[in-house]
Structure 1
């Protein structure tokens, strides 16, 4: 997302020149779609892509604000992109073609320890009903939420967020929050992780989730290793993506 983070600034430094040029070459691949964030600069950005011989059929529009719909109309009313990623809201009913639902399903609480009071809750069934609602696809912000954070911090509690199907017959997703117990300071995050991890491993003895990420968590439990908070979040996202991929493969057969 070019609107947040330091990628654009960092890409102009000499040490990153080669990486930036490689990315530019990859973006010219016909298998890569170009994303357009709909705002006051959309027409200029679309014209730039057209000048680079990138057709509308390789563009994806992200129209995330109701105030941006007029900008979308000024650019795409006659030539629709292949996909329009929009929030699940009646405000975007003007966009009819190639609609992809985007919704933030993660109920982000102020502190990790707050999940101790609600360790299990409904997550999403968009993957089941998106076609019935007139969408070509669905998307969400996984277990992170849409709020952007440029850096992390030392938490009082460690939480692992894992999505899982409600039952064998009901493939709607719930989310379980595994939270550490010794949450009185920021010391010893490795022990906090192991407390949360122990709950996850015990819980999964009945759920039998078997993704690469879950196997990674179980390996860390057996070996008593601590990968760092960033890897914990990455594994939770990996698990979500793999489960969803397996589900889509199954329903497409």
Structure 2
């Protein structure tokens, strides 16, 4: 089972919605959202998963962004009410990140009549392993996302999901030029390592930045299967990178490289198909849509693989 972990930016939510609405998600994929803000796009995404009868996990105590503040904003009371209603749906899996406030936050979930055994929990900080053991001494959560480290494996033994950031972040987009590198083999070996699933931050990475910026270069990050079925990632980077002008032209430069490469690496995913359609039509959808499509490609590709082998 694959649990792509996304931070709930606009383009990430749209990627998840389009995958499930187009029936491209795969039967063995459950997205995990750490929402950074309370938005209509978040509500629509949860609704899409409910309508398509697909499970999706939502973290009730995100550690980044303004989501918790938004929930208390009187101006957003209507959308907040809709969110609370959606949380009651059994297809929306409640998730919790262990932190210094976990005891009170888990108590609040209990008051709201959410059972601990139905939760997904994320424990990726050694300081909270003992608290995890204390909170789940009599029953295990449905899923426990943990790093692949012995200190976690020794104490967290049930329903373990391997959580790891696979994206090798570079300082500048130009630094990705010509790089073709290993991405992940967790889909091959997670069961051998006594995990019931695996999770990553797709082609975005764990590093969170609230605000974007105009890049000097446009980079497309595309994953693909090697001959041994391990996952690799190839980066396609624009050439005219002296300043921030003409992002559409930079996109076309990078996309031309991807189009040439795809001629010998045919992959049937909706995200890649739509990306290459922009090359054919010579259109520029914007940087957010570009990121959305490459995320869609990654998640669908893993879903295809798991549907074949599981």
TM-score by length of structure 1 reads 0.95
2:187 to 127, 135, 158: 127
Deviation at 1:165, TM superposition (A): 0.3
The answer to whether residue 226 in structure 2 is matched with residue 161 in structure 1 is: no
Gapped regions of structure 2 (runs ≥ 5) = 1-33, 35-61
Partner of 1:188 in structure 2?
A: 246
With 44-53 and 102-111 compared, the bigger mean Cα shift is at: 44-53
2:161 to 83, 100, 106: 100
Any residues of structure 2 matched to 1:77-226 within 5 Å, and which?
Answer: 77-93=137-153, 94-116=155-177, 118-167=178-227, 170-226=228-284
- Cα distance in 2 for residues equivalent to 1:29 and 1:57: 16
Partner of 1:38 in structure 2?
A: 98
Cα deviations by residue, 1:145-194 (Å, 9 ceiling, x for unpaired): 10001011011100000000002xx2110000000000110110110000
Tell me, what secondary structure is at the counterpart of 2:220? strand
**8 Å Cα contact 1:42-1:75 kept in structure 2:** no
Number of aligned positions between the proteins:
249
**8 Å Cα contact 1:213-1:238 kept in structure 2:** yes
What's the C-alpha RMSD, in Å, of the aligned pairs?
1.2
1:23 to 62, 65, 83: 83
**8 Å Cα contact 1:163-1:176 kept in structure 2:** yes
Partner of 1:238 in structure 2?
A: 296
Cα deviations by residue, 1:53-92 (Å, 9 ceiling, x for unpaired): 2112210110011111111112112221111100111120
Gapped regions of structure 1 (runs ≥ 5) = none
With 217-226 and 4-13 compared, the bigger mean Cα shift is at: 4-13
With 189-198 and 1-10 compared, the bigger mean Cα shift is at: 1-10
TM-score by length of structure 2 reads 0.78
